[in-house]
Amino acid sequence: MKSIVLENGIKLIYKPIEGDITSFCIGFNAGALEEEGYPLGIAHAVEHMVFKETKHRSEDEINRLCDQIFGFQNAMTNYPYVVYYGTSLSEDFQVGLDLFSDILINPTFPVNGFNEEIAIIKEELKEWKDDVYQSCEDELLYNAFNTRRIKNLIIGTEDSVSSITLDHIKSFYNEFYRPDNMVITVVTSLDYDEVIEIVSRLFKDFRKEDMGDIEKINHIKLYEENNPGLFSKVREDINGAKIMVTYPLHHLNDEEIKALEIFNHFFGVGTSSILYNNIRTKNALAYEVGSSIKNERGIKLFSIHLGTSKDKVDKAIEIINSSIEKVKNCSDLFTKDEIKNAFKSIKLKRELRLEKSIQLAKDLTCYQLMYGSYNKVYEEVESTNNIDSEFIYTVVHKVFNNPTIQILS
């Protein structure tokens, strides 16, 4: 692996692989977290609009070339970033990257098509709400926080999307789509020098003059403490009930997050976990139950989720709380060998994830954007020599207090 900063400030990460394919990911610190002063959902709307037309290609031509060149391509807006990515044969990498450089450097943001794209985003918003687990999480985050961006959907609200104008689109693009705010990762069978030459040539005209400093990034307020308590919402279009519980993690350091990952392996991952055993195996309260950690910039949450029937909600929450209290009262949580084996399992799952070239390209880009270091992708699963049962116990006590609980039924 190698990395270089190009003349205009673009960070380029190169990862060689065997075979005949190339995957790339182009990312910007231009996600929903940067929307202060703009309508909610503007970051996502810009992601849509760059594909509408460029100075050199129509929308039809862009769509046709995407189908022709790529085995897979897509774009995604998250809270901390926006990314554009694709996989092609290595022989087509230059053609594919030329298309995406045009999309990202030369969008025209045409008036024709703007209203239809806003309508498409509103339809996307409706479909988003059809996912009941997603809807439960959305309600949870809305109730858990007062000012954090994650209390509202990445895509925005019906009112905020309706208020977006082309001037908003152009302003957000001009502020954040810039080479010094950009990371490109190429996972490829091509030689390093060839990749450098292609990327440098295709992005050399990306504006360099009069950019000024980005004032918002790294200066916005990312975190606040959650509103603890139980919140409930009724939806007449669903059967049963969904429960989600969340705890903030922004006060943990990297080593503590690693310890929490090991704890979570035992607590809420798989059919042998504490949650699964107590909720499903012993009490038959849910078909699916688990817990997960989100450690992305601006998010950082530990969450528990399950689905059950309406009459079993109280019992399920009682068992979740008792499971956590039991763990908190057990200082000798796991043996050294159990911790070692859990870490091996976590590392294996990470390796399986990174085995896909497009996923590796995305992760390297996103980690560079969020943390300023793509190497963190690998550092997260390095040695656990400093993590023992006592340290995990300390982290558990630090995390599992004053949760926000959401019921959707």
Is residue 367 a part of any domain in this protein? yes
> Is the same domain home to 240 and 199?
no
Does residue 65 belong to any structural domain of this protein?
yes
Residue type, position 140, single letter: L
Q: Beta partners for 246?
A: 303, 404
For residue 214, tell me if it sits in a domain. no
Q: Are residues 308 and 195 in the same domain?
A: no
What is the C-alpha separation between 23 and 77, in angstroms, rounded? 19
pLDDT at 213: 62
Which pLDDT band holds residue 216 (cuts at 50, 70, 90)?
A: low
CATH number for position 404 = 3.30.830.10
Residue 337 has pLDDT above 60, yes or no: yes
Q: What is the value of pTM for the model shown?
A: 0.93
Our measurement of the distance from residue 134's CA atom to the centroid of its chain's CA atoms, rounded to an integer in Å, reads 14
Average pLDDT taken over every residue of the chain: 93
Confidence at 239, pLDDT banded by 50, 70, 90: confident
- Whether 50 has a pLDDT exceeding 80, the answer reads yes
Residue 220 domain-assigned (yes or no):
no
Band of pLDDT at residue 104, cut at 50, 70 and 90? very high
The reported pLDDT for the residue numbered 215 is 60
| CA pair distance 389, 322, nearest whole angstrom | 20
Which of 159, 185, 203 is the endpoint of a domain?
Answer: 203
25-40 pLDDT tens trace: 999 999 999 999 999 9
pLDDT score of 185 more than 60: yes
Give the number of other Cβ atoms within 10 Å of residue 340's Cβ: 14
Q: Is the pLDDT of residue 271 over 70?
A: yes
Task: Please state the rounded mean pLDDT for residues 114-134.
Answer: 89
Question: Is the predicted pLDDT of residue 217 greater than 70, yes or no?
Answer: no
DSSP 54: B
As beta bridge partners, residue 14 has: 2, 186
402 with 303, same domain: the answer is yes
Residues 311 and 188 in one domain: no
Task: Write the secondary structure of 338-390 as one string of H (helix), E (strand) and C (coil).
Answer: HHHHHHHHHHHHHHHHHCCHHHHHHHHHHHHHHHCCCCHHHHCCCCCCCCCHH
Categorize the per-residue pLDDT at 218 as very low, low, confident or very high, splitting at 50, 70 and 90: low
Kindly state whether residues 6 and 150 are assigned to the same domain: yes
pLDDT value at 187 more than 60: yes
Domain presence at residue 131: yes
Q: How many domains does the chain have?
A: 2
pLDDT value, residue 221 = 82
Give the domain range for residue 256.
229-408
Residue 271 placed within a domain: yes
164 in the same domain as 59:
yes
Q: Domain for residue 221, yes or no? A: no
Average pLDDT over residues 159-183: 96
Helix (H, G, I), strand (E, B) or coil at 160: helix
Nearest partner of 183 among 371, 376, 373, 368, judged by Cα? 368
User: What digits encode the pLDDT tens for the residues 105-119?
Assistant: 999 999 998 999 999
